[in-house]
Structure 1
Amino acid sequence: MDEFQRQPPLFCELWSLCRDYQGGALAGDLCEDLCVAGRLRYRRCLYYERGKKVLQADWRGRPVILKSKEEAFSSFRPPGLMEDQAEDGGQGFPEAELLLLGAGEYAVEYLAAGSPHHRALFPLDGASRGQAQAVSDMALSFLDLVRHFDNDFSHRLHLCDVKPENFAIRRDFTVVAIDVDMAFFEPKMREILEQNCTGDEDCNFFDCFSKCDLRVNKCGAQRVNSNLQVVCDKIFRHWFSSTLQSSAISFQLQRQLREAVQECADPGSPQRTAPTMFWRLQRLLQAALRELREAEK
């Protein structure tokens, strides 16, 4: 058995990709660094199941994550098929899909993912600030993320699987969504929710809820909860259901935060109250940060 045959399967797969690149069958922004310059180095496999691969690598001295949902490069449709479709009078492919079809692997920054096993849901090891300040910063960043998903696209983006593992934090405690497989824009969300039903429980799609109209036994197409309500329930409730570990935040403000989060997390709260609740939480979190900073002086 030669040296190549003794290598682990994923190493052999990367070698195969480089062979395709050097033969002119494959192109990409990372190929030169991986196959020629040696600036992209494979470290370990983080996940490999049913063709979905998540690898850790070092790219120019920085840790990155490489992800792919295809089993092999041959799984992608050849560009010639897209050209033929356009010539036949088809609608062609959106630019975003063309980009996805043209990339067998793509790199994202390496971040500290959340976990229910962490006391604060996210690793805070080495944080220069206290836990209360880190939690307040992360909570404000979650609010920014919710506002972005609700307002900054042509359609609202619904998060249907909110849990710590699907988010990560940067060193400045800003939050990043790292797994959005269960995120859907409004038109698709309405299509998913509008199903047959005999009760409201049939209208729950993970963290996205609808109501059953018993007159026609059909779930409503309109989601009745919101991204903010789910974030309050799955994330904020863990942080603010008890006293924060800092005497620098006044008891009155901590009580107001607990009450606001409990009200926000209540699935019975109508979606129309979400904007008011958003600004209330933002104001309370900003006040908590001011008290913490004042205590440091």
Structure 2
Amino acid sequence: MNFRRLPGILYNHRNTFLIFSAVTLLLTCILLHWGIICTDFSPWRYVKQVCNEHQNGNAIGNLCKALCTSGDINSLTCQTFHNGKESVFIAEWHETKLVFKKVKDISKSNPLYWIDTNTQTKHYPSENEFKVMIRYTVLTKFNISISNSNLIRLSRLKPSYQEKDIVKRRNEMMNAWALLQDHEYLCSTLFIDYDLFPQLIGTCGPYFAVEYVEPIQYSSLFSLNEDKEEWSKQIKLSLLVLKLIEELENTFIEPFHLCDIKLQHFGLTKEKNRLKFIDLDMVYPRSVISRIISETDSCTTDDQCDFFDCRARCNTKTRKCENRVANNNLQIVCEKIFLGWKNPHKIIVPGLLMSQHTPSSLAAVLRQCANPASETTKPREPTSEEVQSRLTAILSEMDSEIDNEMLL
């Protein structure tokens, strides 16, 4: 490179310029790799790859035709912060917004087939063996037994169609097996009839698509200067959060724990009358998350028994984590979302319900909700139903009062 062609100031600081350029390039590559930034070229590249696999007969699913042949799925845009997924992008299908997510390649870590070391022949499971594998996967990940009809639905990627061609069926099984190893896909599929998570639309190869639900966006920077209308919206939103938390507690055979709770992980439906939880990678039944926590090798402090927001206690005598998750969803919601970020004595960043309009009665209940046992360390006790009822009653009354005031 001829540095003398550079403008004078750049030539005089050429070494600094080169270092800055290299650091910028490296940082950009890291941000792209982590999914913090993205470009709209990426989704088209992903689609081209999966459509090539579909053309070769390797990628199968009910959305492949719309994605690769008819062009019904279009308007692809990249999505940042995709939480461990290799690729995530948004698309439109007949004016319906979809989110496509790619599952990890498990062909080496957990292959469907086994290879005869003598003949190098691939041996695939029979249909019955495949169903046994699916049953075990569901039982391990969600501690539930599924019906035969649901088992058939999970084993196929084209609704109401049974593939007879053995080669195509093996490819379909390969696709289905990779998808079923993904916690988010399996959760969406198993609970498709519940209105708690984004609706699963379909699949194509390693990609699955769910309905797009707008993540909740809220900036606490303006909480001290917000007007009554904005405060009313935050109260209504908080009531919707409480409703969803209650449903997760009571809808299933056992409560479901959200082990990664952030406000942007809640999404508001088109009708604006309910929320769905949109990040399912850390959603577990109580028995499963308790088992995961108890499998920690050893512990000397309670913090070593935490699985993100799902917290447990360390038995210092046995140096093992206790076989149960200690806190519950409401405790975390009150601590992280309603109250906000805080140090042991002071709130640093106000949460959804901390405002100039917050009455002392509400603040007191929120503190009790976030730290039921008044622990000096990280709270671990679950919030009681009695506190939940009081919180809901206070917010409902405030919501009615503000609505009446705004009508006057």
Q: TM-score range by the shorter chain?
A: 0.7 to 0.9
Determine if the alignment matches structure 1 residue 201 to structure 2 residue 317. Answer: no
Q: Partners in 2 of 1:54 and 1:182 — Cα distance?
A: 17
2:290–2:325: 8 Å Cα contact kept in structure 1?
yes
User: By how many angstroms is 1:36 displaced?
Assistant: 3.0
Partner of 1:248: none
Q: Does 1:67 pair with 2:101?
A: yes
Q: Which of 352, 370, 379 does residue 239 from structure 1 map onto?
A: 352
Give 1:12 shift: 3.7
Distance 2:110 2:319 in 1: 41
Cα distance in 2 for partners of 1:266, 1:49 equals 28
Q: Which residue of the other structure, out of 360, 365, 373, is the alignment partner of 1:260?
A: 365
Instruction: Answer yes or no: is 1:289 the counterpart of 2:402.
Output: no
Task: Compute the displacement of 1:65 (Å).
Answer: 1.3
**CA–CA separation in structure 2 for the residues paired with 1:241 and 1:211:** 29
In 2 relative to 1, CA 50–224 (structure 1 residues): closer, same or farther, beyond 3 Å? closer
Letter in 1 for 2:63: L
**Please, which of 91, 94, 101 is the counterpart of residue 132 of structure 2?**
91
**Cα distance in structure 2, aligned partners of 1:106 and 1:220:** 36
Deviation sequence 1:195-243 (CA, Å, 0-9, x none): 3221223222221221222222222112221110000011111122332
CA contact (8 A) 1:162 1:231 kept: yes
Distance of 1:151 and 1:181 partners within structure 2: 20
Query: In the TM superposition, what are the counterparts of 1:74-153 in structure 2 within 5 Å?
Result: 84-87=125-128, 91-94=132-135, 95=151, 98=155, 101=177, 103=203, 104-114=206-216, 117=219, 119=221, 130-153=229-252
Determine the C-alpha separation between the residues in 2 that align with 1:109 and 1:16.
Answer: 23
The one-letter amino acid of 2:70's match is A
Partner residue, 1:30: 63
1:11-30 counterparts in 2 under 5 A? 11-22=44-55, 24-30=57-63
The structural deviation recorded for 1:8 is 4.4
* 2:194 paired residue number: none
CA deviation vs aligned residue, 1:149-206 (integer Å, no higher than 9, x gap)? 2121122211111112322223415322111212221222122222322122322222
| Aligned residues with identical type, % of pairs | 24
Asked if the contact 1:134/1:173 (under 8 Å) is kept, the reply is no
SS for the counterpart of 1:239 is coil
Equivalent position SS for 1:63: strand
Question: How far apart, in 1, do the equivalents of 2:328 and 2:354 lie?
Answer: 20
The equivalent of 2:315 in structure 1 is 213
- Please list every run of 5 or more consecutive structure 2 residues that lacks an aligned counterpart in the other structure: 1-39, 115-121, 136-150, 158-175, 180-202, 340-350, 375-379
**Deviation of 1:43 (Å):** 2.0
Q: What amino acid sits opposite 1:135 in the alignment?
A: Q
Counterpart Cα distance in 1 of 2:42 and 2:354: 47
Aligned to 2:285: 185
Change in CA separation of 1:119 and 1:68 when aligned onto 2, cut-off 3 Å: farther
TM-score (norm 1): 0.77
Q: Distance in 1 between matches of 2:274 and 2:259?
A: 21
Task: Find the aligned partners of 1:54 and 1:116 in 2 and give their Cα distance.
Answer: 23
Would the aligned equivalents of 2:256 and 2:285 in 1 still touch at CA under 8 Å? yes
**Closer, same or farther in 2 for the Cα pair 1:271/1:38, shift >3 Å?**
same
Which range moved further: 164-173 or 66-75?
66-75
Question: What TM-score comes out, normalization by structure 2 length?
Answer: 0.58
Partner of 1:280: 390
Quote the RMSD (CA, aligned, Å). Answer: 3.6
Aligned-partner Cα distance in 1 for 2:112–2:51: 18
Name the aligned partner's letter for residue 353 of structure 2. Answer: F
Equivalent residues of 1:52, 1:68 under 8 A apart: yes
Q: Within 2, Cα distance between the matches of 1:75 and 1:199?
A: 32
Q: After TM superposition, give the deviation of residue 68 of structure 1 in Å.
A: 1.4
Cα contact 1:226–1:274 (8 A) shared by 2: no
TM-superposed CA distance for 1:9, in Å, is: 5.5
Name the SS for the 1:55 alignment partner: strand
* Residue of 258, 263, 275 corresponding to 1:164: 263
| Cross-structure match for 1:124 | none
SS of the residue 1:34 aligns to: helix
Contact 2:75 2:92 in 1 (8 A): yes
Structure number with bigger Rg: 2
Deviation larger for 38-47 or 88-97: 88-97
- Confirm or deny that 1:44 pairs with 2:144: no
How far apart are the structure 2 equivalents of 1:291 and 1:82?
68
Change (3 A) 1:72 1:193: closer
